Amino acid sequence: MTQKSQTTYAIAVGVADVRRDPNPESELVTQALLNMPASTQQTSGDWTHVQLSDYEGWVLTEHLAEPVEKGFTRVGPDCATPLDLAAVITAMRTPLYSQAEGDAQSDHAYLSTLLPLLDDTHTQRVQVALPGGESAWLDRKAVAIRRAADPYPKDDVRKVIEYAMQFRNVPYLWGGTSWEGIDCSGFVQVNYRMGGYILPRDADQQHDFLPQSVSREEMQAGDLIFFGTKAITHVGMAVSATDYIHAEGRRYNYVVVNSFERESPIFNDRLADIVWGIKRVASDHD
């Protein structure tokens, strides 16, 4: 292994695997989306150890690049603005096009990815900056243009649930954070990020982070349900007073809606018996 002074890079692919050890067979501990900052200090062969905002682990060095440097955004034929504007991906998955016209693609970007905006003048696409000095074009309908200083403004919990429901039938993937595959806490984290709430990565961390507990009888849409016997091992998101959506990797292996109502055809008997606690993310004063 090689020790280096700490340097900040950015994730240079649509979604990068982050592993526990510098080995492709090592546990996938999480994934990092395109343009996420990654501080590095250590390398081992083809791998670099990174510190993300919410996790740490090893990524392939080729999946890192220099952070984006951006100046002005083109907003008209002869007009540019120094405002720090960004495109936030609001689609589950969208192509990164090589040009403003045509079908050539370099990669895909996923829900909640944040990319600096370069050109907002095209009718169908916007141009964004990528790590490493590259750029790409995105379908306008797949993004929201925001101030980079506030890319995830607070939104109604109903919007969070709308995003969550679009993940139905997406495969379960331990450590996954995108439409390609997602785990229970990654599912909660990315959907609440789109609603303006930044949560920790793991289920037990999310539980401890949220101060407001509610009873099963008080449960409402948007609440997080934590499950476990000796420790928290799973989390789901309530979509009503009785039903919840979750990325489930034991019985279904995909994102599914279940119910606490015993007479319901989607009742999950195993999870109903191991509710650890229920926490509210969006309190009444938010």
Give the CATH number, domain containing residue 214. 3.90.1720.10
The structure tokens 């990325």 sit at 247
CATH number at residue 120: 2.30.30.40
- Residues identified as active-site: 184, 234, 246
Let me know if residue 91 belongs to a domain: yes
Domain region containing 89: 73-147
Q: How many CB atoms lie within 10 A of CB 271?
A: 19
Q: For residue 85, with 0-12 CB atoms within 10 Å meaning exposed, 13-18 middle and 19 or more buried, which class applies?
A: buried
Residues 207 and 271 in one domain: yes
- DSSP letters spanning 127-155: EEE-GGG-EEEEEGGGEEEEETTSSS---
Let me know if residue 18 belongs to a domain: yes
Residues 77 and 58 in one domain: no
The span from the CA of 264 to the CA of 97, in Å, is 45
Residues 130 and 207 in one domain: no
Report the domain count for the chain. 3
Beta bridge partners of 115: 87
Sign of the CA dihedral with 90 first, then 33, 180, and 223 last = negative
Let me know if residue 182 belongs to a domain: yes
pLDDT per residue rounded down to tens, the chain (286 residues): 777 667 899 999 999 999 999 999 999 999 999 999 999 989 999 999 999 999 999 999 999 999 988 766 766 776 666 668 999 999 999 999 999 999 999 999 999 999 999 999 999 999 999 999 999 999 999 999 999 999 999 999 999 999 999 999 999 999 999 999 999 999 999 999 999 999 999 999 999 999 999 999 999 999 999 999 999 999 999 999 999 999 999 999 999 999 999 999 999 999 999 999 999 998 754 5
Residues 130 and 87 in one domain: yes
Token pair, residue 191, equals: 């959907």
Let me know if residue 152 belongs to a domain: no
Final residue in a domain of this structure, among 91, 114, 147: 147
Residues 39 and 60 in one domain: yes
* 282 CB-side CA count, 13 A: 22
Residues 180 and 272 in one domain: yes
Let me know if residue 285 belongs to a domain: no
**CA distance from start to end of the chain:** 47
Do 270 and 259 meet the contact criterion of CB atoms below 8 Å apart?
Answer: no
Final residue in a domain of this structure, among 109, 124, 147: 147
The span from the CA of 20 to the CA of 118, in Å, is 35
Residues 102 and 130 in one domain: yes
